[in-house]
Amino acid sequence: MKKILLVFSLLASLSCSYPQQTLRIAASEGLISFDPHTQDEAVTMEILGNVYESLVAFDADMQLVPMLCTGYSNVDDRTWRFYLRPGVKFHDGKPLTAEDAIFSLERAGNHQASVFKSMLAVIEKIEKVDSLTIEISTVKPRPNLINILTMISIIPARSDPAGQPVGTGPYSLAGFNGRDILYLNKFKGYWGEEPFFNKTEFHIIKDDSQRMEKLLSGKMDIDANVMENYRTRLSGDSRVNLVAKPSATITVLGLNTSGKFKDNPLSDVRLRQAISLAINRREMVARACHGYAVPANQIATQAIFGYDPELPEIEQNIEKARQIIGPLKTSDPIELTIKVSSAAWFEGQLLAEFLAPIGIKLTVDSLSWTELYSSIESGQAQFYLMGFAYSFGDASELLNDMVHSKGGARDFGIRNLSGYSNENLDKILEKADREFDPLLRKQLLQQAILLTTKDLPFIPLYIRDSSYGLRRDLTWHQKTAAAMLVKEIRL
């Protein structure tokens, strides 16, 4: 739900023996879990992207490319056939087979704690055709299944990744101190291009200024998430190359829409609409993001299939917000508490500033990112600031999983934490989910997005770009849509 903050450290000494050196990486937060199927938290997924791989992936231009398969085909509109890449080995030396792929996909679809259950619930069965070929049958047509599979890591059959992660990626786990340092070794049996660095260490450094100072002092190689207030300083420094990338992460206000107003004021759509109108998104971009973002007017970014370019900007309108909220004022002021990560404390203060003129007293509860993530996923957080990182380039990722009503179809709404329900929107999403015509499907997704701009199960705020500070003699050969992988870093 939040872009990983990575920093690559300066090599202790550089000579002709570069490949023998260790690349030290500073991450903004710790791992949620080693299990790639029970969480999709962005920091964790980014780190584990060096260990695990999927059948298919997106390249830097968001085009689908084979990863652990050499190709795939549609036998019919409900049957997908995948041809596994020969010669691939896991970190334990065992070859990748059809049994491993079947086990991984079934585990991601059925594990009690899997975050991918709703996405994969459409799968009826997975069968082995031969040792390197599998066939996936769905209960109904699912045109975006191939996109979803970019998120499903392949692990050895009958393995438990929570205890000992074993994948096919370019790096294997060498150790973890249980707190703030993760050690990875280059996997010598990797099927793809050999990584440049032999060893990698992920160091958790939560303080943004410390990461930047270590980059400038030569103790770090790369800051893979340069915060906005430091970009001007780094852009003029000859020791650093500053690289900006478009982001597929949207910052939103998440909230609980269930219950009655007296117990949960956010259950009334009028209060949600008033909150949205009270926020000055352009000012928020200027003050919190130092201009390195754009205001959001919907819950999809421009790079996402289903984004509607015709929707107008959401402009601050205090008078209209007061008119909407007026009939709801049973007390003066209405008191709300918002949970934010410690890194977003200032954003919380800005929101409190924006809401005060319409009679809302907002208390900001600052938590560590791990605590906030746990609070959101458990459903305990009633009102919170979060970033949603789209992983497979399609608006259905958020709409189907977190906006569609919960408790109906097994492949919809499993992670609907808000209690929001709209029968009309549900029908639109279910129709889009089986539509193969891309134009018609986009129109359906845009209809669904339009409904969310009125009902506001999430309140869109802004879309940050991603900025990376690289030591000048390092190059980043980006080949995948992942924010940054160690195998893509070269001298």
- What pLDDT digit, counting tens, does each position of 408-461 carry? 666 788 889 899 999 999 999 999 988 888 899 999 999 999 999 999 999 999
Record the tokens describing residue 179, joined without a space: 């707190």
pLDDT at 257: 94
Is the Cβ–Cβ distance between 174 and 185 less than 8 Å?
A: yes
Going along the chain from its start, the domains and CATH numbers come out as 6-51+169-245+467-490 (3.40.190.10), 56-151 (3.90.76.10), 249-464 (3.10.105.10)
pLDDT, mean of each 10-residue run, the chain (491 residues): 34 38 82 90 87 92 89 93 98 98 97 90 95 96 90 96 94 91 95 93 86 88 81 86 81 93 93 98 93 93 91 97 89 90 93 96 92 88 91 89 82 87 95 89 97 97 86 80 81 85
Q: What is the DSSP string of 88-146?
A: -B-TTSPBP-HHHHHHHHHHHHH-TT-TTHHHHTTEEEEEEEETTEEEEEESS--TTHH
Q: Considering the entire predicted model, what is its pTM? A: 0.76
pLDDT at 272: 97
Residue 148: name the closest of 386, 437, 475, 398 by CA: 398
Q: What is the largest CA-CA distance in the chain?
A: 73
Contacts 24+ apart (CB under 8 A), 444-449: 445/305, 445/306, 445/394, 445/395, 445/396, 445/399, 446/306, 446/307, 446/308, 448/306, 448/395, 448/399, 448/403, 449/298, 449/299, 449/300, 449/306, 449/307, 449/308, 449/311, 449/395, 449/399
Sequence-ordered list of residues with C-beta below 8 angstroms from that of 456, at least 6 positions apart, any chain: 269, 272, 273, 276
pLDDT at 255: 94
pLDDT at 468: 83
Amino acid making up residue 239: R
Residue 224: name the closest of 23, 462, 435 by CA: 23
pLDDT at 9: 32
pLDDT at 15: 35
pLDDT at 8: 29
